[in-house]
Chains A and B, each alone.
Chain A
Amino acid sequence: MKSEFAQSTAIESFLRSVEREAAVLPADRRGELLADLAEHIHVALAERPGQEQAVLAELGDPRAIVGTALESEPAADRIPDPSGAVKALRVLLWVSLVIAAIAVVGIAVGNYDLPVYVEVLTLLPVLATAVHVFFLRPGRAVLRVTLTVTTALWVAGVLVNLLNGAPGAVIGALVGVAILVLLHQRSTRAWLAGTTAA
Protein backbone atom coordinates (compact mmCIF):
# COMPACT_ATOMS: atom_id res chain seq x y z
CA MET A 1 0.00 0.00 0.00
CA LYS A 2 2.89 2.39 -0.55
CA SER A 3 2.14 5.56 -2.39
CA GLU A 4 3.75 8.90 -2.98
CA PHE A 5 1.80 10.26 -0.04
CA ALA A 6 3.24 10.39 3.38
CA GLN A 7 0.70 8.30 5.20
CA SER A 8 0.00 8.99 8.80
CA THR A 9 -0.14 6.15 11.25
CA ALA A 10 -3.91 6.61 11.57
CA ILE A 11 -4.37 6.07 7.83
CA GLU A 12 -1.98 3.16 7.80
CA SER A 13 -3.67 1.50 10.71
CA PHE A 14 -7.08 2.01 9.09
CA LEU A 15 -5.91 0.40 5.84
CA ARG A 16 -4.19 -2.40 7.71
CA SER A 17 -7.32 -3.10 9.64
CA VAL A 18 -9.32 -3.24 6.37
CA GLU A 19 -6.68 -5.58 4.97
CA ARG A 20 -6.97 -7.85 7.98
CA GLU A 21 -10.76 -7.96 7.80
CA ALA A 22 -10.54 -8.51 4.05
CA ALA A 23 -8.46 -11.67 4.41
CA VAL A 24 -11.63 -13.59 3.53
CA LEU A 25 -11.85 -11.85 0.16
CA PRO A 26 -10.09 -13.15 -2.95
CA ALA A 27 -6.72 -11.40 -3.35
CA ASP A 28 -7.72 -9.29 -6.35
CA ARG A 29 -10.88 -8.01 -4.62
CA ARG A 30 -8.88 -7.22 -1.51
CA GLY A 31 -6.32 -5.27 -3.52
CA GLU A 32 -9.02 -3.38 -5.36
CA LEU A 33 -10.84 -2.43 -2.17
CA LEU A 34 -7.63 -1.22 -0.51
CA ALA A 35 -6.66 0.79 -3.57
CA ASP A 36 -10.13 2.39 -3.76
CA LEU A 37 -10.08 3.32 -0.09
CA ALA A 38 -6.53 4.67 -0.26
CA GLU A 39 -7.50 6.77 -3.26
CA HIS A 40 -10.57 8.07 -1.44
CA ILE A 41 -8.50 9.08 1.57
CA HIS A 42 -5.90 10.88 -0.52
CA VAL A 43 -8.43 12.73 -2.65
CA ALA A 44 -10.59 13.63 0.36
CA LEU A 45 -7.55 14.91 2.24
CA ALA A 46 -6.45 16.98 -0.75
CA GLU A 47 -9.88 18.63 -0.64
CA ARG A 48 -10.08 18.94 3.15
CA PRO A 49 -6.50 19.17 4.39
CA GLY A 50 -5.93 18.27 8.00
CA GLN A 51 -9.28 16.54 8.45
CA GLU A 52 -7.82 13.08 8.56
CA GLN A 53 -9.79 11.88 11.56
CA ALA A 54 -13.07 13.06 10.05
CA VAL A 55 -12.31 11.44 6.68
CA LEU A 56 -11.51 8.12 8.32
CA ALA A 57 -14.52 8.29 10.62
CA GLU A 58 -16.82 8.96 7.68
CA LEU A 59 -15.49 5.95 5.81
CA GLY A 60 -16.78 3.87 8.68
CA ASP A 61 -15.95 0.62 10.36
CA PRO A 62 -13.51 -1.58 8.37
CA ARG A 63 -15.60 -4.59 9.30
CA ALA A 64 -18.74 -3.01 7.85
CA ILE A 65 -16.88 -2.11 4.65
CA VAL A 66 -15.59 -5.63 4.18
CA GLY A 67 -19.03 -6.98 5.14
CA THR A 68 -20.52 -5.04 2.23
CA ALA A 69 -17.83 -6.40 -0.08
CA LEU A 70 -18.69 -9.94 1.02
CA GLU A 71 -22.37 -9.39 0.31
CA SER A 72 -21.66 -8.52 -3.29
CA GLU A 73 -19.38 -11.52 -3.61
CA PRO A 74 -20.95 -14.70 -4.97
CA ALA A 75 -20.66 -17.29 -2.21
CA ALA A 76 -18.59 -19.53 -4.49
CA ASP A 77 -15.81 -16.93 -4.74
CA ARG A 78 -15.34 -16.42 -1.03
CA ILE A 79 -12.41 -17.76 0.83
CA PRO A 80 -13.76 -19.88 3.62
CA ASP A 81 -12.84 -19.02 7.18
CA PRO A 82 -9.87 -20.99 8.39
CA SER A 83 -11.17 -24.52 8.49
CA GLY A 84 -10.55 -26.99 11.29
CA ALA A 85 -7.61 -28.30 9.27
CA VAL A 86 -6.01 -24.86 9.08
CA LYS A 87 -6.49 -24.30 12.81
CA ALA A 88 -5.01 -27.72 13.59
CA LEU A 89 -2.09 -26.93 11.29
CA ARG A 90 -1.45 -23.73 13.20
CA VAL A 91 -1.50 -25.60 16.52
CA LEU A 92 0.95 -28.21 15.20
CA LEU A 93 3.30 -25.49 13.99
CA TRP A 94 3.30 -24.01 17.48
CA VAL A 95 4.01 -27.51 18.82
CA SER A 96 6.91 -27.87 16.42
CA LEU A 97 8.23 -24.52 17.60
CA VAL A 98 8.25 -25.92 21.13
CA ILE A 99 9.93 -29.12 19.92
CA ALA A 100 12.57 -27.05 18.14
CA ALA A 101 13.16 -24.98 21.27
CA ILE A 102 13.59 -28.11 23.38
CA ALA A 103 16.00 -29.55 20.81
CA VAL A 104 18.05 -26.35 20.78
CA VAL A 105 18.36 -26.51 24.56
CA GLY A 106 19.14 -30.23 24.36
CA ILE A 107 21.94 -29.67 21.86
CA ALA A 108 23.28 -26.76 23.89
CA VAL A 109 23.63 -28.82 27.04
CA GLY A 110 24.96 -31.79 25.08
CA ASN A 111 22.08 -33.98 26.05
CA TYR A 112 22.15 -36.11 22.92
CA ASP A 113 24.53 -38.90 21.98
CA LEU A 114 24.38 -38.26 18.25
CA PRO A 115 27.14 -36.38 16.44
CA VAL A 116 26.46 -32.64 16.57
CA TYR A 117 26.28 -32.29 12.78
CA VAL A 118 23.45 -34.85 12.70
CA GLU A 119 21.61 -33.02 15.46
CA VAL A 120 21.89 -29.68 13.69
CA LEU A 121 20.93 -31.16 10.33
CA THR A 122 17.79 -32.71 11.82
CA LEU A 123 16.93 -29.56 13.75
CA LEU A 124 17.09 -27.10 10.84
CA PRO A 125 14.00 -28.43 9.01
CA VAL A 126 12.03 -28.40 12.28
CA LEU A 127 12.93 -24.75 12.81
CA ALA A 128 12.16 -23.91 9.19
CA THR A 129 8.79 -25.61 9.53
CA ALA A 130 7.96 -23.98 12.85
CA VAL A 131 8.64 -20.39 11.74
CA HIS A 132 5.90 -20.78 9.14
CA VAL A 133 3.43 -20.19 11.96
CA PHE A 134 4.31 -16.49 11.84
CA PHE A 135 3.59 -16.19 8.11
CA LEU A 136 0.50 -18.32 7.73
CA ARG A 137 -2.08 -16.21 5.84
CA PRO A 138 -4.67 -16.91 3.19
CA GLY A 139 -3.46 -16.27 -0.34
CA ARG A 140 0.13 -17.32 0.35
CA ALA A 141 0.13 -20.42 -1.80
CA VAL A 142 3.92 -20.63 -1.81
CA LEU A 143 3.85 -21.53 1.89
CA ARG A 144 2.29 -24.87 1.05
CA VAL A 145 5.30 -25.70 -1.09
CA THR A 146 7.91 -24.52 1.40
CA LEU A 147 6.09 -26.17 4.31
CA THR A 148 5.90 -29.45 2.42
CA VAL A 149 9.63 -29.36 1.68
CA THR A 150 10.74 -28.46 5.21
CA THR A 151 8.38 -30.94 6.83
CA ALA A 152 9.43 -33.75 4.50
CA LEU A 153 13.09 -33.02 5.37
CA TRP A 154 12.10 -32.97 9.03
CA VAL A 155 10.43 -36.37 8.81
CA ALA A 156 13.42 -37.76 6.89
CA GLY A 157 15.76 -36.46 9.58
CA VAL A 158 13.62 -37.98 12.30
CA LEU A 159 13.75 -41.35 10.56
CA VAL A 160 17.55 -41.14 10.54
CA ASN A 161 17.44 -40.43 14.29
CA LEU A 162 15.15 -43.38 14.87
CA LEU A 163 17.51 -45.65 12.97
CA ASN A 164 20.35 -44.30 15.09
CA GLY A 165 18.49 -45.40 18.19
CA ALA A 166 16.70 -42.29 19.45
CA PRO A 167 13.17 -43.53 20.25
CA GLY A 168 12.11 -40.09 21.52
CA ALA A 169 12.22 -38.89 17.90
CA VAL A 170 8.97 -40.72 17.27
CA ILE A 171 7.01 -37.72 18.61
CA GLY A 172 8.65 -35.46 16.05
CA ALA A 173 7.86 -38.01 13.35
CA LEU A 174 4.18 -38.04 14.31
CA VAL A 175 3.92 -34.24 14.36
CA GLY A 176 5.72 -33.98 11.01
CA VAL A 177 3.50 -36.54 9.34
CA ALA A 178 0.39 -34.89 10.80
CA ILE A 179 1.48 -31.54 9.31
CA LEU A 180 1.96 -33.18 5.91
CA VAL A 181 -1.50 -34.74 6.11
CA LEU A 182 -3.13 -31.43 7.10
CA LEU A 183 -1.28 -29.61 4.31
CA HIS A 184 -2.82 -31.99 1.86
CA GLN A 185 -6.39 -31.30 3.00
CA ARG A 186 -8.55 -29.64 0.39
CA SER A 187 -9.61 -26.88 2.78
CA THR A 188 -6.01 -26.10 3.74
CA ARG A 189 -4.97 -25.89 0.12
CA ALA A 190 -7.90 -23.64 -0.74
CA TRP A 191 -7.24 -21.37 2.22
CA LEU A 192 -3.55 -21.02 1.41
CA ALA A 193 -4.24 -20.51 -2.27
CA GLY A 194 -6.65 -17.73 -1.37
CA THR A 195 -9.44 -19.30 -3.35
CA THR A 196 -12.35 -21.54 -2.66
CA ALA A 197 -12.21 -25.30 -2.60
CA ALA A 198 -14.28 -25.33 -5.79
Chain B
Amino acid sequence: MHRMEQGGARDRVPGKAESQLRKGVLEYCVLALMRDEPRYGVELVQTLAASGALAAGQGTIYPLLSRLRRDDLVATTWRESASGPPRRYYRLTESGLAALEEFSRIWPAFRDAVDGILRSDPPPSTDSGRNP
Protein backbone atom coordinates (compact mmCIF):
# COMPACT_ATOMS: atom_id res chain seq x y z
CA MET B 1 0.00 0.00 0.00
CA HIS B 2 1.53 3.27 -1.07
CA ARG B 3 1.42 6.16 1.32
CA MET B 4 1.86 8.62 -1.51
CA GLU B 5 -1.52 8.03 -3.02
CA GLN B 6 -3.54 9.82 -0.35
CA GLY B 7 -4.33 12.96 -2.29
CA GLY B 8 -5.45 11.20 -5.43
CA ALA B 9 -7.16 8.24 -3.79
CA ARG B 10 -10.57 9.75 -4.31
CA ASP B 11 -10.29 9.92 -8.07
CA ARG B 12 -8.86 6.46 -8.47
CA VAL B 13 -10.89 3.31 -8.68
CA PRO B 14 -9.22 0.76 -6.41
CA GLY B 15 -8.62 -2.70 -7.81
CA LYS B 16 -10.52 -5.69 -6.54
CA ALA B 17 -7.78 -6.97 -4.23
CA GLU B 18 -7.32 -3.54 -2.75
CA SER B 19 -10.96 -2.84 -2.13
CA GLN B 20 -11.52 -6.31 -0.60
CA LEU B 21 -8.56 -5.79 1.68
CA ARG B 22 -9.66 -2.35 2.77
CA LYS B 23 -13.19 -3.49 3.43
CA GLY B 24 -11.93 -6.19 5.76
CA VAL B 25 -9.96 -3.88 8.00
CA LEU B 26 -11.97 -0.66 7.66
CA GLU B 27 -14.32 -1.57 10.49
CA TYR B 28 -11.40 -1.85 12.91
CA CYS B 29 -9.83 1.36 11.66
CA VAL B 30 -13.13 3.08 12.44
CA LEU B 31 -13.25 1.53 15.90
CA ALA B 32 -9.62 2.52 16.50
CA LEU B 33 -10.32 6.15 15.58
CA MET B 34 -12.85 6.48 18.42
CA ARG B 35 -10.86 4.56 21.02
CA ASP B 36 -9.40 7.58 22.78
CA GLU B 37 -12.23 10.04 22.44
CA PRO B 38 -15.68 10.27 20.90
CA ARG B 39 -15.70 11.52 17.32
CA TYR B 40 -18.45 12.72 15.07
CA GLY B 41 -19.22 11.33 11.63
CA VAL B 42 -17.62 13.96 9.42
CA GLU B 43 -14.49 13.86 11.58
CA LEU B 44 -14.25 10.06 11.30
CA VAL B 45 -14.88 10.08 7.59
CA GLN B 46 -12.34 12.78 6.85
CA THR B 47 -9.64 11.20 8.97
CA LEU B 48 -10.17 7.91 7.16
CA ALA B 49 -10.18 9.58 3.75
CA ALA B 50 -6.95 11.41 4.54
CA SER B 51 -5.31 8.19 5.76
CA GLY B 52 -6.06 6.45 2.46
CA ALA B 53 -7.86 3.65 4.30
CA LEU B 54 -11.15 4.21 2.50
CA ALA B 55 -11.97 1.86 -0.35
CA ALA B 56 -14.60 4.08 -1.95
CA GLY B 57 -16.42 7.40 -1.52
CA GLN B 58 -16.82 8.83 1.98
CA GLY B 59 -20.52 8.01 1.95
CA THR B 60 -19.75 4.29 2.14
CA ILE B 61 -18.70 4.77 5.78
CA TYR B 62 -22.26 5.43 6.91
CA PRO B 63 -23.67 1.96 6.24
CA LEU B 64 -20.70 0.67 8.25
CA LEU B 65 -21.35 3.07 11.14
CA SER B 66 -25.00 2.07 11.06
CA ARG B 67 -24.06 -1.61 11.38
CA LEU B 68 -21.64 -0.88 14.22
CA ARG B 69 -24.49 0.89 16.04
CA ARG B 70 -26.83 -2.04 15.49
CA ASP B 71 -24.21 -4.51 16.67
CA ASP B 72 -23.67 -2.42 19.80
CA LEU B 73 -19.99 -1.96 19.06
CA VAL B 74 -20.44 1.80 19.19
CA ALA B 75 -22.86 4.10 20.98
CA THR B 76 -23.79 7.60 19.93
CA THR B 77 -24.80 10.84 21.58
CA TRP B 78 -25.88 14.10 20.02
CA ARG B 79 -23.96 17.19 21.00
CA GLU B 80 -24.72 20.79 20.24
CA SER B 81 -22.01 22.65 18.40
CA ALA B 82 -20.96 26.25 18.78
CA SER B 83 -21.06 26.52 15.01
CA GLY B 84 -23.51 24.72 12.81
CA PRO B 85 -25.86 21.81 13.43
CA PRO B 86 -25.64 19.34 16.33
CA ARG B 87 -23.26 16.47 15.70
CA ARG B 88 -23.69 12.82 16.47
CA TYR B 89 -20.67 11.59 18.42
CA TYR B 90 -19.55 7.98 18.26
CA ARG B 91 -17.77 6.18 21.06
CA LEU B 92 -16.75 2.58 21.69
CA THR B 93 -18.89 0.35 23.82
CA GLU B 94 -17.36 -2.41 25.90
CA SER B 95 -17.94 -4.94 23.15
CA GLY B 96 -16.55 -2.48 20.60
CA LEU B 97 -13.41 -2.13 22.66
CA ALA B 98 -13.16 -5.92 23.00
CA ALA B 99 -13.51 -6.35 19.22
CA LEU B 100 -10.83 -3.73 18.61
CA GLU B 101 -8.46 -5.34 21.14
CA GLU B 102 -8.94 -8.71 19.53
CA PHE B 103 -8.17 -7.29 16.10
CA SER B 104 -5.12 -5.45 17.42
CA ARG B 105 -3.88 -8.68 18.94
CA ILE B 106 -4.30 -10.70 15.73
CA TRP B 107 -3.17 -8.07 13.25
CA PRO B 108 0.64 -8.03 13.76
CA ALA B 109 0.97 -11.80 13.33
CA PHE B 110 -1.38 -11.73 10.36
CA ARG B 111 0.52 -8.88 8.74
CA ASP B 112 3.83 -10.65 9.31
CA ALA B 113 2.47 -13.89 7.90
CA VAL B 114 1.29 -12.17 4.73
CA ASP B 115 4.58 -10.28 4.44
CA GLY B 116 6.43 -13.54 4.82
CA ILE B 117 4.46 -15.21 2.07
CA LEU B 118 4.83 -12.21 -0.23
CA ARG B 119 8.59 -12.23 0.27
CA SER B 120 8.40 -15.89 -0.80
CA ASP B 121 10.30 -17.19 2.15
CA PRO B 122 10.11 -20.93 1.77
CA PRO B 123 7.25 -21.96 4.04
CA PRO B 124 8.03 -24.59 6.66
CA SER B 125 7.61 -27.90 4.86
CA THR B 126 4.58 -29.82 6.02
CA ASP B 127 4.50 -32.61 3.45
CA SER B 128 8.08 -33.83 3.68
CA GLY B 129 6.83 -37.38 4.16
CA ARG B 130 5.59 -37.45 0.59
CA ASN B 131 8.86 -36.31 -0.93
CA PRO B 132 11.02 -39.07 -2.39
Contacts and interface: CB of A to CB of B under 8 A. Distances in A.
Nearest to A65: B59
Nearest to A49: B84
Interface string B33-70: 00000001110010001000000111110111111000
Contacts of A71: 23, 63
A61 interface: yes
A40 B41 contact: yes
Interface stretch (A30-38, A99-107, A186-194): A30-38
A32 B69 CA distance: 11
Per DSSP, are chain B's interface residues mostly helix, strand or loop, or mixed? helix
A58 B57 contact: yes
A62 B88 CA distance: 22
A42 interface: yes
Given A58-B10, A60-B58, A64-B56, A43 B87 contact: yes
A39 B40 CA distance: 10
A61 B57 contact: yes
B8 interface: no
A177 B119 CA distance: 69
A69 interface: yes
Contacts of B124: none
Nearest to A67: B60
Nearest to B71: A72
B60 A68 contact: yes
Contacts of B49: 58
B13 to A, nearest CB: 10
Contacts of B10: 57-58
Interface of A: 5, 18, 29, 32-33, 36-37, 39-40, 42-47, 57-62, 64-65, 67-69, 71-72
15 contacts: A33-B63, A36-B62, A37-B62, A39-B41, A39-B85, A40-B42, A40-B58, A42-B84, A43-B42, A44-B42, A45-B84, A46-B84, A65-B62, A68-B63, A71-B23
Interface of B: 10, 23, 40-42, 45, 49, 56-60, 62-67, 81, 83-85, 87-88
